Structure 1
Amino acid sequence: MPLFPLASVLFPGGPLTLRIFESRYLDMVRECSRNDSGFGVCLILDGGEVGTPAKPAAVGTLARIVDFYTLPDGLLGITAAGGARFHVERTRVRHDGLLRGDVEYLPSEPLLPVPAEYGLLATLLERIAEKAGGDYDRAPRANFDNASWVGFRLAELLPLENIERQQLLITTDPIARLRLLTEYLQRFQHD
């Protein structure tokens, strides 16, 4: 799978907009379009988004391109949606600098309701979604009682460090993710 290391974390069901200008990523977008396939998004652990291939985190998210457009500066813009999470088993750098990885997909999470003790997280997400608008505000009401969905959306929207976001992505239990979010939120509380 082609890998796109970024200085951000993509979550299942989450949105991703990218400005594509490096030839290796233009080729990747062509390949994904031609093969109706996706590419992997991994948090950068070392290096940068441009230039020499960066060292990616071992767990990432499949991104599927849902839209293409030309940006005002003439570059290619894409919108992608987060899909399944995966673990990178091995990586190699292609001759053009594109990072490719052999991946193993992580199992889908069980559909669990938000437990009562984490109900405030769902309420917080509803308030943030109203302000954020767009797809967040148009989400079906049932999503706000889905522990995975609530956890992933809060992980996207809260002002967290990327290492915290990566930990939330790695966590495979939706209730444990809500517990972690509660711990992270404590630093935002005022006396």
Structure 2
Amino acid sequence: MTDTARIPLFPLGTALFPEGSLPLRIFEPRYRRMIAQCLKDHGSFGVCLIAAGREVGEPAVPYLLGTEAQIVSADHLRNGVVDIVVRGRRRFRVLDHELEEDGLLTGTVRWLADPAPQPIPAHLVEVVPLLERLIEKYGGGHVIEPHRFDDAVWVGTRYAEWLPLKAEAKQRLLEMDDPLERLEFVRDTLYELGMLPADPDAELRR
């Protein structure tokens, strides 16, 4: 498999994470064309968080690290509107991009290697029971199985998409290559939000 590809890019106000699920309503002509082509060719597109601009109207400027989106369902509504659900696959880095005539952004991307599953070290296992409860209570069909609560990559990524963080913080988590760095960020954030008991060692890590 080649490590580069040319794909359409969809700048959004939210980040998509690998193995994550994201519902989207498609109504702009440029993106309706993109979705129609993806459905016809069984292709995918790239989701990038917006660095500057807006989702609708003039083309936005995207961050250059995003996630491949695979369409898993599509519901065609009236007036050409399409409701889709996508699943996050590989991360990528945008090498170059350009606008097509209708404003659709396309780019050459380099696929980033998927991190290998990694055991959760003892000092971070405290985050797992909370995630289990959150998924049991709110996850429903939105969290793609299998659930890998023993994998630091999977646990950190699920928290990254669920935590109430600013978009820039989520982008930072998406860009992290070290699963343990991401999980430590998650653990510290859970303490700050009061979602875990007070951490007696917090001052020692400052």
Q: Which amino acid aligns with 1:166?
A: Q
Deviations 1:46-65 (CA, angstroms, capped at 9, x unpaired): 00000111000110000000
The TM-score with structure 2 as length reference comes to: 0.86
Q: Which amino acid aligns with 1:17?
A: P
Q: Does residue 90 of the first structure (1) align with residue 96 of the second (2)?
A: yes
Corresponding residue for residue 2 of structure 1: 8
Please say which structure displays the higher CA radius of gyration.
2
The TM-score with structure 1 as length reference comes to: 0.93
Q: Does residue 32 of the first structure (1) align with residue 38 of the second (2)?
A: yes
Aligned structure 1 segments of 4 or more residues deviating by more than 6 angstroms: none
Identity of aligned residues (%): 44
Q: 2:186 aligns with which of 162, 181, 188?
A: 181
Per the TM alignment, residue 137 of structure 1 is displaced from its structure 2 partner at its CA by: 6.8
Corresponding residue for residue 4 of structure 2: none
In structure 2, distance between residues paired with 1:106 and 1:25: 25
| Partner SS state of residue 89, structure 1 | strand
Q: Which amino acid aligns with 2:57?
A: G
Q: Does residue 158 of the first structure (1) align with residue 153 of the second (2)?
A: no
Contact 1:37/1:64 (8 A) holds in 2: yes
Corresponding residue for residue 3 of structure 2: none
Deviations 1:18-71 (CA, angstroms, capped at 9, x unpaired): 101001001100111122110000000100000111000110000000111135
| C-alpha distance 136-96 of structure 1, shift in aligned 2 (>3 A) | closer
Contact 1:130/1:137 (8 A) holds in 2: no
Contact 1:114/1:122 (8 A) holds in 2: no
Q: Which amino acid aligns with 2:124?
A: Y
| C-alpha distance 37-74 of structure 1, shift in aligned 2 (>3 A) | closer
Corresponding residue for residue 108 of structure 1: 114
Q: Once superposed, what is the RMSD of the aligned Cα atoms?
A: 1.9
Per the TM alignment, residue 156 of structure 1 is displaced from its structure 2 partner at its CA by: 1.2
**Alignment coverage as a number of residue pairs:** 190
In structure 1, distance between residues paired with 2:168 and 2:43: 28
Q: Does residue 172 of the first structure (1) align with residue 177 of the second (2)?
A: yes
